[in-house]
Structure 1
């Protein structure tokens, strides 16, 4: 038989991670690392196994106090995963989600989230009742209540009217103008881009007249708006068509003013055409978005006979298509989970109690699974692994009364199962373990093997039946 490759050895080794006894996964991982001897090759395979182990064993996550939220704990499970989240996120109810590192067991990147008010109200009263039960019945118990309801879409912060107006006009907002580097230390030019230092032009013959003409033209072309908005320009500001105001030879030439007027008119016409195109694009985008929303509730069907299928271009949405429409579930399910851990390695035993109950108000049922795992390893290796399924009908009542009734029934079922386990454990010595031993002879006495040659079976049997 050929020797296994490193990858094959790793695949076999990581399978032991998901079978780790309660509280001993770190010991298992360290043993695997020693066997493989290559962490770089091991970790890509170990991380998915650790994730599966943490979800199945209801890993407890400790959250430090932050952002006004007190220190608390939550559970990891398939039910606490935020739907369609990438990277994978978990609920930290009532209004946060987080990313979890399955190697370091640390949460990070908290983000807000919200559920529909009615569903969150019922989830909260269930969590309150289940938390009280867990604290009263488990010395180190943790509880969690989750729902498969689709979270509400994030609410965008209100936009500032000043910022919107400045963005639309291409100007800097007041906040941007206050940023370092937005203000220039150069002298502020006058309208038309001329600075007060240009004394040679003003004092020259006809210079004042030319300055007045330049200022008048610049005001007509909107240069004054840039000064009012806080724009600071060091270089002279050209007029429409990139013609400098001091180009006297062009403006004063025959027909020069008429050419300038034509250029101004062309720019205005181009601006109007651009505005019209933007308006048409917005209308097309809105129509495409409406079509996409309407198409969500329509089943795809083949085209009718004699009709041609729609073109691909007609069915395409713009590149920035809107996010999927939020469609809340009419009857979401609620998952109640409890985990109780008892680790005592100094006495060579560990144990874990896990329960998972699903409340289905549409079917009016509450179904659950109870799992108990115990490991005892003093001079040996003995494990207990049990699974018990139960269900009961959903009680009647409003949210608070209904939640209390559900938890009361859960407590009754779990207590009965715990008592059954106790009875079975008490009977192990007298029944199960005794059945494993060799039966005594009919004399009900142990055989003395040192005197076995002196036994006379016939006489002994006669005495026994006398």
Structure 2
């Protein structure tokens, strides 16, 4: 296999990495390349794509909170007047450089938001923080003003739970685009769970949401509107969580049980000490005798 083909195979592995296991995947594929310099150069685009899609979080320098790395947080180099890509933490009003390999932020610089849209964005951020504390133990949220569409806001939530000792990991991601121009909110919820104790089972599920915002929300104050919008999100995510729980219960009670019999046709466990007393055992014994007799002729 050519080097570029091996790099492509490694990139495919990286893009399919379960939550919290990207470093394990990278370490495992080192043997495929056997060249760390080539490996780091070759997988850089895949790492960046993975980080953006997975809403990787990063500690923001000079603050005590984390922010989400995503398409919504990416700033163009022209916007910063510099020759490098920078990322935005709207909460601290700072932009920064992000290392997709080390997962570290550096070089924080002040960022001036659009003051026309900042009141609503800030109110939505505050409401999402309260929602996060109520429903996600270790969650992170970021709220952005759209860089291309006025009066459009992007709210993102990510929560990770890693438990390698018990061989499982999981990630919840949700993104909502609130558009005050057409009174709409469109969202996506993505859940990934990986169980890998003596096996490899993954759950990957997505739910799309589309809601028309009532005029009472659009015309309300930023604080009131944001509270009502988060109440809508709470309802949608609560219903989705309930549907997942119902699905798990049904799988446990019906789907998995239908894959095989809990007991033989006799409705009792097989007694291996008396196997010849069963019809199958007798047939096997008879067949064995016939085969032996035939072989001796």
TM-score of the superposed pair, with normalisation by structure 1? 0.55
Matching residue of 1:124:
122
Matching residue of 1:73:
66
Of 21, 24, 45, 1:24 maps to 21
Is the CA contact (8 Å cut-off) linking 2:61 and 2:105 kept in structure 1?
Answer: no
Q: Does 1:400 align with 2:226?
A: no
Query: CA offset at residue 443 of structure 1?
Result: 5.0
Query: CA offset at residue 409 of structure 1?
Result: 0.4
Q: Does 1:451 align with 2:249?
A: no
Q: Partner of 1:23: helix, strand, or coil? A: coil
Q: Partner of 1:118: helix, strand, or coil? A: coil
Distance 2:280 2:90 in 1: 78
Matching residue of 1:424:
247
Query: CA offset at residue 138 of structure 1?
Result: 0.6
Out of 94-103 and 50-59, give the one that drifted further.
94-103
Query: CA offset at residue 64 of structure 1?
Result: 3.3
Higher normalized strand content (fraction of residues): 2
**CA, structure 1 residues 444+394, in 2 after alignment: closer, same or farther (shift >3 Å)?**
same
Q: How does 1:147-166 map to 2 (within 5 A)?
A: 147-149=145-147
Structure 1: give runs of 5+ residues left out of the alignment.
Answer: 151-328, 457-466
Q: Partner of 2:75: helix, strand, or coil? A: coil
Distance 1:84 1:364 in 2: 32
Matching residue of 2:88:
91
Is the CA contact (8 Å cut-off) linking 1:149 and 1:332 kept in structure 2?
Answer: no
RMSD of aligned Cα (Å): 2.0
Is the CA contact (8 Å cut-off) linking 2:10 and 2:43 kept in structure 1?
Answer: no
Is the CA contact (8 Å cut-off) linking 1:338 and 1:356 kept in structure 2?
Answer: yes
Query: CA offset at residue 446 of structure 1?
Result: 5.4
Is the CA contact (8 Å cut-off) linking 1:350 and 1:376 kept in structure 2?
Answer: yes
> CA offsets per residue over residues 330-371 of structure 1, 9 Å max, x none?
x33211110011111111111111101111111211111111
Count matched residues. 270
Matching residue of 1:44:
41
Structure 2: give runs of 5+ residues left out of the alignment.
Answer: 283-297
Q: Does 1:335 align with 2:158?
A: no
**CA, structure 1 residues 450+140, in 2 after alignment: closer, same or farther (shift >3 Å)?**
farther
Matching residue of 1:137:
135
**CA, structure 1 residues 32+452, in 2 after alignment: closer, same or farther (shift >3 Å)?**
same
Query: CA offset at residue 141 of structure 1?
Result: 0.5
Matching residue of 1:173:
none
Of 101, 105, 108, 2:106 maps to 108
Q: How does 1:38-437 map to 2 (within 5 A)?
A: 38-65=35-62, 70-85=63-78, 86-94=83-91, 95-149=93-147, 329=149, 331-395=150-214, 396=217, 397-437=220-260
Q: How does 1:4-19 map to 2 (within 5 A)?
A: 4-19=1-16
**CA, structure 1 residues 455+9, in 2 after alignment: closer, same or farther (shift >3 Å)?**
closer
Larger-Rg structure: 1
Distance 1:432 1:43 in 2: 43
Q: Partner of 2:116: helix, strand, or coil? A: helix
Distance 2:203 2:85 in 1: 33
Distance 2:118 2:280 in 1: 83
Is the CA contact (8 Å cut-off) linking 2:191 and 2:204 kept in structure 1?
Answer: yes
Q: Partner of 1:149: helix, strand, or coil? A: coil
Is the CA contact (8 Å cut-off) linking 1:17 and 1:50 kept in structure 2?
Answer: yes
**CA, structure 1 residues 350+455, in 2 after alignment: closer, same or farther (shift >3 Å)?**
closer
Q: Partner of 1:427: helix, strand, or coil? A: helix
Distance 1:339 1:453 in 2: 57
Matching residue of 1:263:
none
> CA offsets per residue over residues 96-125 of structure 1, 9 Å max, x none?
111100011111122222122121111100
> CA offsets per residue over residues 358-392 of structure 1, 9 Å max, x none?
11111211111111111111111111111111121
